[in-house]
Amino acid sequence: MNQQDSQFSSNQLFLSVILMVAGAHLCNVLIQSMLTATYPLLEEKYQLSFAQVGCISLVYQLTASILQPAIGYYTDKHPKPYLLPLGMVSTTFGLCMLGLVSQFYLLLLAAAFLGVGSSTFHPEASRVARNASAGRFGLAQSAFQVGGNLGSSLGPLLVSLVVLRYNRQSNILWFIVIGVIAILLLCRISAWSARHLAANRHKAAANCILPYDKSKTVLALFILAVLIFSKFFYMASMSNYYSFYLIEKFALTKQSAVLFLFLFLACVAIGTFVGGPVGDRIGRKYVIWFSILGAAPFTLALPYANLWGTALLSCLIGLIISSAFSAIVVYAQELIPGRVGMIAGLFFGFMFGMSGIAAAVLGYVADKTSLQLIFKFCSFLPLLGILTILLPDVERYKR
């Protein structure tokens, strides 16, 4: 093995690279989360209906979801590390539009640019994190995800302090600095990824034999899709309408409601960080089981709680329900080995698509009925976690 090969050995844990990818994910999602955090301002300033708010989310989520599996499939065969900074350029441009435009259709276009940035970022960034993990896939995926979740929690906080506090849409433009920092960071990550790929090109291709027959693999993927549906349909109700729910039910100010949203999203970040390493240790199936079904008692209680009970329950829900996604992605990658980018793109894409559809549907229903009704309906979704019992034990097969 020559010096370059030893420097970029696939058996070496590159913690600094994982941390850089997590940091880039933080910046990427922080910018994207500003879209939903500005909804109270946009809704009041431009007299948007809940259905229109849902349509903005739908455009963002569908744009992010449609391209991701295709990009992941293509880059599995033809890795393109420099898609990372290019995707961040699209995200930063979408942020610029969000701070400047006033017409509804231009808000939709801004959401689309944010979605394109997400679709080019996630498959390749997930691959880089896995390549740097030295087999500790749950840890790497969890660190990657927690960066994103920290970004999604910091975004609303910063919007509350910088944008909503002054009721000024143009203050969003201050956050372009974060986009520029992320572009520079992703250029460095892309350079490392290109060198790592070159150093390991001589190695034998990964074993792509499926651990189970086709029908069992398809069934497992279908169950994972249902679990993603239950998790992210519920998460869409919280991320898009939790602040409106608090304003309507408890008469909170916009700024206070967004701070409660920040508290929920911060707990989501903590739960995500815990889920990956625990899955490496005890098995990903058990983490998936507990994460989705275990949140059900708290989601069922939330619509009937007072303000501080709602805050406590939302924190518990965020901690528990968020721990599953890293485990689901790594579980699926082990179910279909050799398709790291495609699986990451498929599941991130399905996550974004489901979140977008949920936002639009829930917004329409909220316009016709009430926000409290949609929170009562969504509280039953984590009960679908019982389907985890049908998943095969991939870790036991590997042993």
- Confidence bin at 1 (pLDDT 50/70/90): very low
Q: Is the pTM of this model over 0.75?
A: no
Distance from chain centroid for Cα 69: 15
Instruction: Note whether 17 and 126 are within 8 A (CB).
Output: no
Amino acid at 288: I
Look at residues 65, 81, 199, 92 and name the one whose alpha carbon lies nearest to residue 129.
81
Residues in the chain: 399
Span 20-33, average pLDDT: 93
Count other C-beta atoms under 10 Å from residue 229's C-beta.
Answer: 17
DSSP 380: T
Residue 111 is predicted with a pLDDT of 95
Q: Are 75 and 124 in contact (CB under 8 A)?
A: yes
Hey, what are 159's tokens? 């919007």
Count of Cβ atoms closer than 10 Å to residue 284 Cβ: 27
| pLDDT tens-digit readout, 201-220 | 655 444 556 666 778 888 88
Residues 6+ apart with CB under 8 A from 358: 232, 233, 236, 237
pLDDT of residue 335: 83
How far apart CA 86 and CA 182 sit, in angstroms, is: 11
Provide the mean pLDDT of the chain.
85
Max CA pair span of the chain: 67
CA dihedral 136→142→148→150, nearest 10 degrees, is: -120
Q: If we measure between CA atoms, which residue out of 361, 345, 352 comes closest to residue 63? A: 352
Architecture of the domain defined by 11-201+209-398 = Up-down Bundle (1.20)
For residues 176 and 96, the answer to whether their CB atoms sit within 8 Å is: yes
The arithmetic mean of pLDDT across residues 85-93, rounded, is 95
- Give the residue extent of every domain in the chain: 11-201+209-398
Q: For residue 50, what are the contacts with CB-CB under 8 A and spacing of at least 6?
A: 241, 244, 363, 364, 366, 367
Q: Which spans in the chain are helix H?
A: 3-7, 15-37, 39-46, 50-77, 83-100, 104-131, 137-159, 176-199, 214-250, 254-282, 284-293, 296-301, 307-321, 324-335, 340-368, 371-378, 394-398
What's the CA gap between 100 and 261, in Å, rounded?
25
pLDDT band, residue 381 (cuts 50/70/90)? very high
Positive or negative, the Cα torsion across 145, 148, 150, 153?
Answer: negative
pLDDT at position 204 is 41
pLDDT at 250 over 50: yes
What is the band of 147 on the pLDDT scale with cuts at 50, 70, 90? confident
Beta carbons of 159 and 352 less than 8 angstroms apart: no
pLDDT attached to residue 209: 62
Task: Single out the residue of 196, 164, 155 nearest to residue 28, CA to CA.
Answer: 155
Q: pLDDT confidence of 398, banded at 50, 70, 90? A: low
- Better pLDDT: 385 or 346: 385
